[in-house]
Amino acid sequence: MEDVLTALENQQWRLARTPTGALPVADDFVWHETRMPEVQEGQVLGRTLYLSMDPYQWVRRRSGTEQPGEICHGRTVSQVVASRHREFAEGDYLFNTHGWQSHGLTGAGISNFGYMHPRKLDPQLAPLSTAIGIMGMLGLTAYAGLIVQCQPRPGETVVVSAASGGVGQVVGQLAKLRGCRVVGIAGPEEKCAFVREELGFTACVSHRDPDLPRALANACPDGCDIYFENVGGKVFEAVLPLLNKKARISLCGLISQYGNTDKSDPRIAWRARGERTFAARQVEAHDLFVGNYVDTYQQPFLEEMGAYVREQKVSYREHFWPGLAQAPQAFAAMLSGDNFGKTIVTLA
């Protein structure tokens, strides 16, 4: 097998330059073909099957954390094609972090950026793609922010923005399973209908509504006990007046601010805007960085979510883009809302 592999080219997207636009454009990326990497002792070579498109990748690229010339970072599901690792055999399926490339190495000396650890996947337990969605970092993000930080109680009202997206869908369903009243906020009516009808949220309002504050207030007659923040900007403005005394917030993301020309951390402005309300109403606002929850919570999360997936107590929607060549378009679509559900590039 290894002889065949060394004859193959590894296809990659690399960062061409540090992007300056509000959204990614084709010139930010460059296609690269190179020889297969050699598998060292303690490593496996995997063929990428699924590649995750996530907003944080944009933050890395715009901030210079990812440097021009580097393979674009991204979490993946892969199948082992050559192994020199005692725990992983040829044919095994793995969750790992290959980035935007057709093949990649996992194991000794390969960084996974301190997030979810590489692990073997059982395709009988859950569809493989869920390892980068509901059963992966997105699911863990929802679990950490909602369950660990905000500790929902039955009957409370939970509001979640970007409700139809990868993280938002999981937050709302976990809250519903804990007996909460769940109100989503999404863009187009098609997404709002999905959130209400397929995910079973109590209500979903559109952030495109010219009177969003009124629409949201109508959907939250008892105010908001927990806000799961994915968006910021005018959506946060609409939530602020509804926060109840001792409300909890998980500050997960601020996607409406990721294209700002001002490159300061948008969390600082967000906190400054909320400060008076938080103090007056004893609101707890928690910063969320999923990487901090991996060591303690990955296992309990996988057990709880694995049971929900097997028992079909949760639904999830994925938006597949076929072919590595489409990764830049898929990425831009995800950031601009032209996605519907968790955005995944398929290579199989």
Residues that bind ligand NDP (CB under 6 A): 54-56, 138, 141, 162, 164-168, 186-187, 191, 207, 230-231, 235, 252-253, 255-256, 288-290, 334, 337, 339, 342
Taking the C-alpha atoms of residue 210 and residue 78, their distance in angstroms, rounded to an integer, is 44
How many residues comprise the chain? 348
Taking the C-alpha atoms of residue 95 and residue 44, their distance in angstroms, rounded to an integer, is 12
Tokens of residue 303, six digits: 């057990």
Tokens of residue 208, six digits: 């495109």
Give the nearest distance from C-beta 7 to ligand NDP in angstroms: 37
Taking the C-alpha atoms of residue 163 and residue 150, their distance in angstroms, rounded to an integer, is 17
Give the nearest distance from C-beta 293 to ligand NDP in angstroms: 8
For ligand NDP, which is the closer residue by CB, 44 or 138?
138
SS3 category, 325 = helix
Tell me the residue ranges of DSSP E strands in the chain. Answer: 9-15, 29-35, 43-52, 76-83, 93-96, 103-107, 119-121, 157-161, 181-186, 203-206, 224-229, 243-251, 284-287, 318-322, 342-346
Q: Give Cβ neighbours of residue 202 (< 8 Å, ≥ 6 apart).
A: 181, 182, 183, 196, 219
Q: Are 234 and 212 in contact (CB under 8 A)?
A: yes
- Mode of pairing for the β-strands spanning 181-186 and 157-161: parallel
Give the nearest distance from C-beta 244 to ligand NDP in angstroms: 23
Give the nearest distance from C-beta 187 to ligand NDP in angstroms: 3
CB-based closest residue to ligand NDP: 165
For ligand NDP, which is the closer residue by CB, 99 or 168?
168
For ligand NDP, which is the closer residue by CB, 10 or 129?
129
For ligand NDP, which is the closer residue by CB, 107 or 184?
184
Taking the C-alpha atoms of residue 184 and residue 164, their distance in angstroms, rounded to an integer, is 8
For ligand NDP, which is the closer residue by CB, 105 or 330?
330
Give the nearest distance from C-beta 170 to ligand NDP in angstroms: 8
| Closest C-alpha to 198, from 101, 318, 33, 110 | 318
Give the nearest distance from C-beta 296 to ligand NDP in angstroms: 15
Tokens of residue 262, six digits: 């001002």
For ligand NDP, which is the closer residue by CB, 104 or 172?
172
Give the nearest distance from C-beta 171 to ligand NDP in angstroms: 9
- Max CA pair span of the chain: 68
Give the nearest distance from C-beta 289 to ligand NDP in angstroms: 5
For ligand NDP, which is the closer residue by CB, 36 or 344?
344
Give the nearest distance from C-beta 84 to ligand NDP in angstroms: 32
SS3 category, 318 = strand
Q: What is the dihedral of CA 252, 257, 262, 268, to 10 degrees?
A: -40
For ligand NDP, which is the closer residue by CB, 11 or 206?
206
For ligand NDP, which is the closer residue by CB, 235 or 332?
235
